[in-house]
């Protein structure tokens, strides 16, 4: 569970430090995702473009993209190693989605990304996706 939480934290940090992200989510999370995007926009006035929420019926995983490039995925098939990936195992990302939302809120309350060391030591170290995926298997 620690590896999953670390990967979810990295996905949350990527979302918050990247301007103009797109959250592609299952339809059932659309309202929560729109609320989250507004909270990000309100908390980070330096953002030029708040996260855009795209929801489609039939999706069962969450993607974070920037300029069309996948930067994080919760659930779904394993993406290239440059992408922060959180496998969900049972094809449902609801537990991970709720933890992810809380992590985003916690980071915003701490002042991330404009703060120094507020996201813990892992946020200042280079992310090692290969090592995390090994821990998750």
**pLDDT confidence band for 62 (50 / 70 / 90):** very high
Query: CA-CA distance, 108 to 86, in Å (whole number)?
Result: 21
Report the 10 Å Cβ neighbour count for 56. Answer: 10
Would you state the pLDDT for residue 120? 64
Is the predicted pLDDT of residue 1 greater than 60, yes or no? no
Would you state the pLDDT for residue 81? 97
Residue 29 lies inside a defined structural domain of this protein: yes
Residue 98 lies inside a defined structural domain of this protein: yes
Report the 10 Å Cβ neighbour count for 128. Answer: 11
Would you state the pLDDT for residue 119? 59
- pTM of the predicted model as reported, rounded to 2 decimal places: 0.91
Q: Which domain holds residue 68?
A: 2-132
Q: How many domains does the chain have?
A: 1
Torsion angles phi and psi, residue 21, rounded to 5: -75, 160
Would you state the pLDDT for residue 112? 84
Query: CA-CA distance, 119 to 130, in Å (whole number)?
Result: 21
Residue 82 lies inside a defined structural domain of this protein: yes
Residue 62 lies inside a defined structural domain of this protein: yes
pLDDT digits 0-9 by tens, 11-54 = 999 999 888 899 999 999 999 999 999 999 999 887 778 899 99
Report H helices in the chain.
2-17, 30-43, 94-110, 129-136
Residue 137 lies inside a defined structural domain of this protein: no
Burial classification of residue 17, based on how many CB atoms lie within 10 Å of its CB (0-12 exposed, 13-18 middle, 19 or more buried): middle
């Amino acid at each position: 569970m620690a590896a999953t939480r670390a990967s979810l934290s990295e996905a949350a940090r990527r979302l918050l430090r990247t301007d103009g992200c797109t959250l592609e989510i299952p339809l059932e999370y659309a309202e929560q995702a729109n609320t989250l995007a507004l909270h990000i926009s309100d908390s980070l006035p330096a953002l030029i473009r708040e996260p855009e929420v795209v929801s489609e019926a039939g999706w069962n995983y969450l993607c974070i993209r920037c300029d069309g490039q996948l930067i994080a995925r919760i659930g779904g098939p394993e993406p290239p190693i440059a992408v922060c990936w959180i496998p969900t195992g049972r094809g449902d990302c609801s537990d991970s989605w709720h933890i992810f939302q809380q992590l985003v809120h916690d980071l915003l309350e701490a002042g991330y990304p404009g703060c120094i060391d507020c996201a813990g030591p892992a946020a200042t170290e280079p992310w090692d996706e290969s090592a995390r995926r090994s821990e998750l298997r």
